[in-house]
Amino acid sequence: MTLNPMSVRFWGVRGSIPCPGPDTVRYGGNTSCVEVRCGEHLLVFDAGSGLRLLGNELVSDPTVVDMDLFLSHCHIDHMIGLPFFSPLFDHDHRVRIWAGTLKSSGGIRGAIGKFMSFPLFPIGIEAANGTVEFHDFDAGQVLAPREGIVVRTALLNHPGGATGYRVEYQGRAIAYITDTDLGSASIDPAVLALARDAALVIVDTTYTDDELPEHVGWGHSSWQQAVRLVETAQAKTLCLFHHDPEHLDPMMDEIAAAAAKSRPGTIVAREGLVVQI
């Protein structure tokens, strides 16, 4: 299904670890994976456990055989779906994998090679039958993955580093900013630039302000900090994302209500949600 000219679909919305079960069924228990359609082009952000479900749909859709997968970073919750992504193993598909902050440690090809190797996994990336390309860049670079699409990047405040993204297409923009500690002082100008005037800003909101003191240095933010970011950036819609696995559906309902009261129009990412830009 292609939604024009630009749309976003959430396949995984949790952070840290998948948490499926009856207490997370309404918002979802899969980890980070977001599909962005720019006309006929498919961009995917992060390879969490939600990527498996997206892959299953893609192999049944003969109209989409070419795609770009952008990783925010290589922590396990953002990589766990990659070995189960069906297009990698289908010779009719082409997947370009992009990542920043990894050049000094062997690049994205090296990171995936470590992840998909004994004793952690039974097969290596060499088993992929599809056409797979690896693209390393430095966070801060401007990328042009497909004609008419501009992807701006910025380094995020997360242990080991992470990359935030801004996708621009036909006069529209969305920002994908996870995992990061937005802090309580002035907002990083590079991060602010990603969100500036965007139609949709998807932000790491793992915690509430009350929970932050117990998680100093963990590299995550609160929904209150995300509200401040989007207000300062004069963006349109804030989307809360990367939910704590301990935040069950009733608590997510409370967070959704509080955030919408603080900034009307705020939405909360849940599996299956489609946002037209």
Query: In the chain, what are the domain boundaries?
Result: 6-276
Give the model's pLDDT for residue 103: 64
CA distance 45 to 202: 11
| pTM of the complete model | 0.96
Tens digit of each residue's pLDDT (9 = 90 or more) over 171-208: 999 999 999 999 988 999 999 999 999 999 999 999 99
pLDDT of residue 170: 96
pLDDT band at 104 (very low <50, low <70, confident <90, very high): low
State mean pLDDT over 86-95.
Answer: 96
- Going by C-beta distance under 8 Å and a sequence separation of 6 or more, which residues neighbour residue 36? 6, 7, 8, 42, 43, 44, 45, 167, 174
179 vs 140: CA distance, rounded Å: 16
**pLDDT value for 87:** 97
Q: Are 203 and 230 spatial neighbours (Cβ–Cβ below 8 Å)? A: yes
How large is the C-alpha radius of gyration of the chain? 17
**Mean pLDDT, residues 68-84:** 97
Residue 67: pLDDT band (50, 70, 90) is: very high
Say whether pLDDT at 105 is over 80. no
Rounded to the nearest angstrom, the gap between the alpha carbon of residue 135 and the centroid of all alpha carbons in its chain is: 17
Q: What is the pLDDT of residue 3?
A: 45
State the fold for domain 6-276.
Metallo-beta-lactamase; Chain A (3.60.15)
User: How far is residue 12's CA from residue 78's CA, in Å, rounded to a whole number?
Assistant: 10
